[in-house]
Structure 1
């Protein structure tokens, strides 16, 4: 068990201020009985697993990524790329986060001033070290196959998202994944995999406590509004329809969202090799 999380002002913060109602994610091990893990996943909407992937394989992907991005000047000079140390002499505007908050639904983040960084960040999705070796890592696929019972029928979505963000830029807002997968049934399992170690205050993914029912309720609300507005089935399935924010997000303000739903945010210190599985409506 982890010790109680002591709140330190301005250490953990989101778009609308410091986090105050904060708890730890519940840790699990992939070696625990599968039925116990499944029950935890159903109850919590997520499963935070320690050490699913070999640490060396995760750091190899990290090294490949930052070696590829190094030419943009994003890294501090004379540092090892695998460290991923941001060059503080550069403006954050030159390195917009892929998949982070943005002004429009399909706009190119950062404009032409950030063209090289954005183009390389997108290209990284198609490199073998990411698309094949990392996303299709045998240890991850094997665990998912056993955990879900899908066995040989386990398939990875063709589209994945290799997110990046640097100090001082805007993180992604409040969301659940089914918002962006509406043309499929809500039966998928998301694997969120940190590519390296992340301290509690290092910008890792945070989860809303008991957030799956909140996401389900939001989805039902969207459907009712879509029907009332007379939207077609295709329009209603679009994550950017007229009833949603331009970015497809639930909110840009996590503190306000947590207060409205009377819940805490859950955080963790992640290590290379960890994996978090979560349900399609988990916030």
Structure 2
């Protein structure tokens, strides 16, 4: 199924053509049986759940986040922080993403912005209220069958803002960065606010979970042939990978090379997307016409009764090597 989009969707290597994308299929967690939801995640590699979280709780966290970042000068003067409107008179380069470069190499405004974006990870309204929201914890315990006692939300999360016109997320699957544990984690991507089709949301490769597993098997075999140690082979940044750990920065060419479409949609506050550790995904460049900053977080859940990547047991910090 293809969808009509009036304006082009852009990724790091240019526009996606209409033949390059299709609709990400939603599921209603209130009406679809649990077994069917499990089947969809298993068969499709993703599960797009509409309205799982209370919308007002997500927007409250969004307001708190942008109020926290407001002193950095990122927001349009006079705008309501919950709207997250970028001050388009500023240079996008003054507001880099988390994990980009070293603080000491940044200009003062960029330093303040990144410092606040990092500090937001430790704020109670985020790491307790949102990341451990009781609705999410209860759903994940039931959905996975792990039970509430073994359903562990990992402390290391990635709370990302995406400024309009900034570079998008490259093509990757999460197990690349979680190789120190078994591939049993479930990622929960939470858009913290509405994300329009052109607003920089996540995109998923059709059948990408199958291809991701093939890639990982190939990386494992290549590690053996090239003589990597066990620790080197587990690293997302070993010499067989790109320096950033991603498969490629260019989703358009990647999808065409493997004959697969990118699945796209608009998201609303309260929606979440679950995906498996091998599901290949990326994001579009944020071209929101109203200069809305895309805000979202990557949460990961594991079965604590099985080996998991314990490097993810601490909050994200710049240069943590994960």
Q: TM-score, normalised by structure 2?
A: 0.83
User: 5 Å matches for 1:91-106?
Assistant: 91-98=91-98
1:25 CA drift (Å): 0.6
For 1:27 and 1:230, locate their aligned partners in 2 and report how far apart those are by CA, in whole Å.
44
Decide which structure has greater strand share.
2
For 2:93 and 2:138, locate their aligned partners in 1 and report how far apart those are by CA, in whole Å.
40
For 1:273 and 1:183, locate their aligned partners in 2 and report how far apart those are by CA, in whole Å.
31
The aligned counterpart of 2:126 is: 130
For 1:44 and 1:111, locate their aligned partners in 2 and report how far apart those are by CA, in whole Å.
42
Cα 1:38/1:56, change in 2 over 3 Å: same
1:191 aligned to 188, 191, 201, which one?
188
Residue 274 of structure 2: SS of its match in structure 1? strand
For 1:192 and 1:199, locate their aligned partners in 2 and report how far apart those are by CA, in whole Å.
16
2:142 aligned to 146, 152, 168, which one?
146
User: 5 Å matches for 1:67-216?
Assistant: 67-98=67-98, 107-108=101-102, 111-113=105-107, 114-152=110-148, 153-216=150-213
Verify the 8 A CA contact 2:59 2:192 in the aligned structure 1. yes
The aligned counterpart of 1:22 is: 21
Verify the 8 A CA contact 1:28 1:48 in the aligned structure 2. yes
Which deviates further from its counterpart, 168-177 or 90-99? Answer: 90-99
Verify the 8 A CA contact 2:2 2:21 in the aligned structure 1. no
Verify the 8 A CA contact 2:203 2:264 in the aligned structure 1. yes
Deviations along 1:170-199, whole A, 9 cap, x unmatched? 111001111110101000000000000011
User: Any unmatched runs of 5+ in structure 1?
Assistant: none
Q: TM-score, normalised by structure 1?
A: 0.94
The number of residues matched between the two structures is 274
User: 5 Å matches for 1:27-46?
Assistant: 27-31=26-30, 32-46=32-46
User: Any unmatched runs of 5+ in structure 2?
Assistant: 281-322
Cα 1:43/1:110, change in 2 over 3 Å: farther
